[in-house]
Chains A and B, each alone.
Chain A
């Protein structure tokens, strides 16, 4: 079955950088568009960024553009989120999610990981 496992969260100081990972299994990783979504404590879900199946196309929401970079290594079935200049407001649970637009033509978040918590605090 499809499994997505995020890792790399933790407690970091403002202004620092961190990389999150999302390991996929149980599906053909290289055939799927992938997303990062986050949820700040007590808040709603926020879409952050998407990457095409081959990594050639990337899009970001305005709040993270220029600070966050999405990437993937299809040989390792792994998605990444490189985050820099972290702020207290980046504190959230970060989820990765699959998007079956390539095999199905339909755009949505199909499968979700369990999330990894990032806390930005001094």
Chain B
């Protein structure tokens, strides 16, 4: 069974740049997996950041960007701010109607 992988945790300094990745235990992520990214703070519903690899949702600051890096989808935060400290989840479309979440990355800004 293919699993979607994310770094469990990451740390970035305020103003710094961080790239979170979303991979597969078997195979490479491409745009055909429709990678999307979601931000979630404790006790809140997820917020949609990025769809279709690199399309920012309405109201999402342009410091968030999505891409394919090598064999993974990636979420890059450029100029990290304190309120970017959150959990970040990717989702891949696996075909046949099936979506799979990655395990999430807990981002610390300090």
Interface, chain A (partner B; CB < 8 A) = 35, 37, 44-47, 50, 57-59, 61, 95, 106-115
22 cross-chain CB contacts under 8 A: A35-B99, A37-B46, A44-B101, A44-B103, A44-B104, A45-B46, A50-B99, A58-B97, A59-B97, A95-B45, A106-B52, A107-B93, A108-B34, A108-B36, A108-B51, A108-B91, A109-B38, A109-B46, A109-B91, A111-B48, A112-B45, A112-B47
Name which residue of chain A comes closest to B50, CB basis: A108
B38 to chain A, nearest CB (A): 7
- Known: A35-B99, A59-B97. Is A45-B38 also a contact (CB below 8 A)? yes
- Known: A61-B98, A114-B45. Is A47-B104 also a contact (CB below 8 A)? no
How far is B96's CA from A57's CA once the two chains are assembled, in angstroms?
A: 10
How far is B40's CA from A46's CA once the two chains are assembled, in angstroms?
A: 13
B52 to chain A, nearest CB (A): 5
Which residue of the partner chain, among A46, A106, A110, contacts B34 with CB atoms under 8 Å? A106
Q: Which residues of A contact B91 (CB under 8 A)?
A: 47, 108-109
B64 at interface (Cβ–Cβ under 8 A)? no
Q: Which residues of A contact B93 (CB under 8 A)?
A: 107
Q: Which residues of B contact A112 (CB under 8 A)?
A: 45-48
Name which residue of chain A comes closest to B100, CB basis: A47
Q: Is the CB of B97 within 8 A of A57?
A: yes
A114 to chain B, nearest CB (A): 5
In this complex, the interface size class of chain B, counting residues with CB under 8 Å from chain A, is: 20 to 34
Q: Is the CB of B40 within 8 A of A45?
A: yes
B78 at interface (Cβ–Cβ under 8 A)? no
Q: Is the CB of B51 within 8 A of A106?
A: yes
Q: Which residues of B contact A61 (CB under 8 A)?
A: 98
Q: Which residues of A contact B57 (CB under 8 A)?
A: 110
Q: Which residues of A contact B89 (CB under 8 A)?
A: 44-45
B80 to chain A, nearest CB (A): 22
B89 to chain A, nearest CB (A): 5
Q: Is the CB of B48 within 8 A of A109?
A: yes
Which residue of the partner chain, among B55, B100, B101, B103, contacts A106 with CB atoms under 8 Å? B55
A66 to chain B, nearest CB (A): 16
